[in-house]
Structure formats: C-alpha cells, structure tokens
Amino acid sequence: MNDNIYVYLSSLTGNTEKLAKGVLEKLSRKNGPFSLHDNEFLTSSEGIGELVILFFWCRRGNLDYNSQMFLEHCKNKKIIAVGTMGGYPQSEYGNKVKKAVFQSISENNICMGVFMSQGKIDIQRTEYRKKLPPEHPHFLDEKGIRRHEESRKHPDEADIECASSFLENRISEYAAAREAVCMDGEPCIQCGMCN
C-alpha cells in the first residue's frame, strides 16, 4: 500500500472518477494499491502525507468546491493535480485553467504539475446554451457545439494512459528527490517507494 501518497478525488458527474479509477488501476499494478479518499469531507489534516494526488474537476476556470475545501487542510504538501474539464485542455483556455489551478495550489503548497483531460459536458447544458440569444456570452456557436460533442467522448482510454504516465513521472521525480537527501549511502528508508 502506498501509505505515504494521499489520493483525494472530487467528481460530480463521474468523469473524474472514471479517470482516477482507470489511472490508479494502472499505477497500482506497478506501485501497489492506493487508498482513495472519494469526495470525503475532511475536518482535519490528519493522515494526509507529504505527497498528495488531487483528482479534481474544473468549475468556473479553477478547482471545484470540494477540492478547494480539501486544500484548506493541506499546508506545505507536494501536490500533483489531475483534472477534467469541458473545454479543450490543449488550448489557450486550457492553459489558463492549468495556470489558475497551479496558482491556487501553490498558495500554501508545492504544486508538482497539473494535468487536464477533457470530460463530457451534460447534454442538457449543451441544449440550453444552443437556445440562448446569439448575443449572450454563453451562446454556443457551431465551434462550441463541436467542442461539446467532442467532450462526450472523454475521458477515454488514451486520456487515462496519458494521465497515468504523467503521474508515474511525477511520482518518480518525488521518489528520486527523497532518495537524493539520504546522506549515508544506503537506499532511502523514508520514501517507502524504493522497496
């Protein structure tokens, strides 16, 4: 069990849950099982180790509410963030969201990276926005409709694969940094990931 890695999941409609469970299934084959704190409401920071994996969804261009509440209990942690969003992650808007999340986490912690996957947008939301007057800021034009349609294919296997390698790299970086501080020439006995 990866006791020193605390995994928090916030998911409203299931996209982030699908991504998180797919990723953890892959990672646990190599690193052993992870215990998942699924939409838990915390009242203290007890039990949160030094390394945190935060699975979140994007709400209004930043972290969702549960994830923000979770962060209230994190101070000086190393946090790797993996999220889903309705927009395209590889776009100017996607970069803006990643930057906003990075900044929110970095207020009291060390953010070790933000990975975003697209996640399906509720069809009712698409229909509602299509019916708005064209001058409304939320009116969906043809390009927007295509983006919403594309979102409904995600997260898919390729997203899960990309998120897994992102996390694997970041966890290795963390483990290597922990090993580097061992002064006695022996393998690291602190990080728990070198056995």
Ligand X SMILES: Cc1cc2nc3c(=O)[nH]c(=O)nc-3n(C[C@H](O)[C@H](O)[C@H](O)COP(=O)(O)O)c2cc1C
Residue 140 CB, nearest approach to ligand X (Å): 13
What is the DSSP code string of 72-88?
TT-SS-EEEEEEEESS-
* 36 interacts with ligand X by CB under 6 A: no
Q: Which two tokens stand for residue 184?
A: 């006695």
Nearer to ligand X, 13 or 28 (CB): 13
Q: CA 121 → CA 34, 60, 108, distances in Å?
A: 28, 13, 31
* 16 interacts with ligand X by CB under 6 A: yes
Nearer to ligand X, 65 or 176 (CB): 65
* Residue with smallest beta-carbon separation from ligand X: 119
Site for ligand X, residues 51 to 70, rule: CB under 6 A: 57-61
How far apart CA 153 and CA 67 sit, in angstroms, is 24
Neighbouring CB atoms inside 10 A of 177's CB total 13
* 129 interacts with ligand X by CB under 6 A: no
Which positions lie near ligand X, rule CB under 6 A?
Answer: 11-17, 57-61, 84-87, 119-121
